[in-house]
Amino acid sequence: MASGWGITGNKGRCYDFWIDFSECMSRCREPKDCALVREDYFECLHHIKEFRRRNRVYKEEQRQIRAAAQNAEEAEGGKKSSHH
């Protein structure tokens, strides 16, 4: 990664983040001063926040689908019982 070359021979996708992090570390007083830049670099490498967000969105979509299906079933059940 530090070389800047990706597996396709072009610049690696996270190289710019690495440069920012490396420059920050070389001029900071304490490593914690670069926490946000480090976080950006790690997100580029591992996509942890992206995957968490996608998972939350998926779970919410599934919850809404189940709720809509349940509401539809209840509405159908209410219509059937009112005809009797």
pLDDT for the residue numbered 79: 63
Residue 4 lies in a domain: yes
Residue 52 lies in a domain: no
pLDDT for the residue numbered 8: 76
**Domain boundaries, position 34:** 1-46
- The letter for the amino acid at 54 is R
Q: Are residues 37 and 61 in the same domain?
A: no
Residue 51 lies in a domain: no
Q: What is the 3-state secondary structure (H, E, C) of 13-78?
A: CCHHHHHHHHHHHHHCCCHHHHHHHHHHHHHHHHCHHHHHHHHHHHHHHHHHHHHHHHHHHHHHHH
Per-residue pLDDT of the chain (84 residues; tens, 9 = 90+): 456 667 777 888 999 999 999 999 999 999 999 999 999 999 999 999 999 999 999 999 999 999 999 999 888 886 655 555
Q: Are residues 41 and 66 in the same domain?
A: no
